[in-house]
Amino acid sequence: MFPFAADRRWLSALLAVSTALALAVTAAPHARAQGEETPEQLRQRLAERLKEDIGSTTKVGTGARSGKDKDKGPDKDREGRRAGGKSTTLPSVAVAASAARPEVHWSYTGDNGPDRWGQLSPDWKQCAVGTRQSPIDIRDTIRVDQEAIRFDYRASRFSVVDTGHTIQVNVSSGNFIEIMGRRFELMQFHFHRPSEERINGRQYDMVAHLVHKDSDGRLAVIAVLLERGQDQALVQTVWNYLPLERGDSYDAPVSIDLNQLLPKDKAYFTYMGSLTVPPCSEGVLWMVLRQPVQLSSQQISIFSRLYPMNARPLQAGSGRLIKESN
Ligand SMILES: [Zn+2]
């Protein structure tokens, strides 16, 4: 049932960077992928899945994490959730609290939708009270000669995870960007439909978020806007290895090169924001590439069968400075 056992590196990368997603949602399937799920747990999970409204509520169960993962999980959670200086105290609180509340549901619509995230868990308060939240409508930018983002991407192995909130691709180590004197490593990328961010009010068909982390645990996310048009080769490779079941992971037998997902023009908008999913931690450096990349209608429809709408609504700009490349 779970033939795609994740190796330790994948697991630790996954645990470290599922910040753009619910940590426990991605961790639990890997615990199961290591063959630690009892038949009873399996039956229960199947029953839950049948009850689930696809595309809305998803079960989050930190309690399902295995003992072996606990060695690594909480530490990695701390790293993954530490989005910047201001957020350093948040993660340990979150881990301790979630141990007492093994199940927290969140979704993009309904009773556990975005306007409720901040109330669903004390660890997620930022979702409601934060003033540096993402996504935003990018407008009233200041145009300056921004330093170029130095992309150091290479062909890499990957696994595709259906997290219950998105399709996430965990990539093997060795992919970096350099910006503002810091080197960030690519941990994972994932998709939203439609795009969460808008440019002067315009929303795109989809967006890919490439989540990077530096050695201090700071996060930098590159957003690649996706619009309807030609086939996108890298997206197709990812779709080819979609796991059949929600919660499962598929270790692809081929490589991808993230350079293939980048537009020719690397001009970008940049601002300080947050994770766009609980716990909505702030201190995330956002870089939204201005030139969109095309993907085909068929490629969009494949994603939308799984996730018709997984975009957090716009958040207040609150006077934040947004820079744009000349
Ligand atoms: Zn995202």
DSSP codes of every residue in 103-150: B--B-SSGGGSGGGHHHH-GGGTHHHH-SS-S--EE-S-EEE-PPPPE
How many whole angstroms from 78 Cα to the centroid of ligand 1? 19
Ligand 1 centre to CA of 39 (Å) is 33
- What distance in angstroms lies between residue 5's CA and the mean position of ligand 1's atoms? 25
Report pTM: 0.72
CA distance 254 to 200: 38
Quote the ligand 1 centre to 134 CA distance (angstroms): 10
Ligand 1 centroid – CA 190 distance (Å): 6
C-alpha 43 to ligand 1 mean position (Å): 31
**How far, in Å, from the CA of 66 to the mean position of ligand 1?**
26
Structure tokens at 131: 């003033």
Task: Decide if 222 contacts 266 (C-beta within 8 A).
Answer: no
Asked whether the predicted pLDDT for residue 83 surpasses 80, the reply is no
Domain co-membership, 141 together with 122: no
Residue 176 has pLDDT above 60, yes or no: yes
Which residue segment(s) compose the domain that 175 sits in?
137-325
Cα–ligand 1 centroid distance for 192 (angstroms):
6
- pLDDT band of residue 104 (cuts 50, 70, 90) is confident
Look over the chain and give the mean of its residue pLDDT values, rounded to a whole number.
79
Instruction: Give the Å distance between the CA of 276 and the centre of ligand 1.
Output: 6
Here the CATH number for the domain that contains residue 199 is 3.10.200.10
Say whether pLDDT at 179 is over 50.
yes
Q: Distance, CA 32 to ligand 1 centroid (Å)?
A: 24
Rounded to the nearest angstrom, the distance between the alpha carbon of 314 and the centre of ligand 1 is 13
- Do 114 and 242 sit in the same domain of this protein? no
Residue at a domain's end among 109, 129, 149: 129
179 and 84, same structural domain?
Answer: no
Same domain, 212 and 279: yes
Kindly state whether residue 1 falls inside one of the protein's structural domains. no
Closest CA to 99 of 24, 37, 46, 32: 24
Phi-psi label, residue 162: left if phi above 0, alpha if psi -120 to 50, beta otherwise = beta
Q: How far is the CA of 191 from the centre of ligand 1 (A)?
A: 6
Q: Answer yes or no: do 283 and 319 share one domain.
A: yes
Give pLDDT, residue 44. 53
What confidence score (pLDDT) does residue 69 get?
A: 36
Interval between CA 203 and ligand 1 midpoint (Å): 15
Q: How far does residue 209's CA lie from ligand 1's centre (Å)?
A: 5
Interval 47-56: pLDDT, tens: 454 444 333 3
Answer whether residue 3 is part of any domain.
Answer: no
Compute the distance from residue 42 Cα to the ligand 1 centre, in Å: 29
**Which tokens go with 137?**
């409508």
DSSP E strands in the chain: the ranges are: 137-138, 142-144, 150-152, 156-162, 167-171, 176-179, 182-192, 198-199, 202-203, 206-213, 219-228, 249-256, 268-274, 282-295, 323-325
The answer on pLDDT for 264 being more than 70 is: yes
109-168 pLDDT, tens digit per residue, is: 999 999 999 999 999 999 999 999 999 999 999 999 999 999 999 999 999 999 999 999
Q: 20 C-alpha vs ligand 1 centroid, how far in Å?
A: 5
Domain count, the chain: 2
232 is written with which tokens? 């996108």
Q: How far is the CA of 221 from the centre of ligand 1 (A)?
A: 8
From 185, 161, 139, select the one nearest 241 (Cα to Cα).
161
Nearest residue to 3 via CA among 256, 211, 268, 249: 249
CA distance 253 to 158: 8
Q: Residue 6 — φ and ψ, nearest 5°?
A: -80, 140
Average pLDDT over residues 87-111: 56
Instruction: Match 């439909």 to its residue by tokens.
Output: 193
**pLDDT of 23-72, one tens digit each?**
333 333 333 333 444 444 544 554 454 444 333 333 333 333 333 333 33
Between 213 and 52, name the one with better pLDDT.
Answer: 213
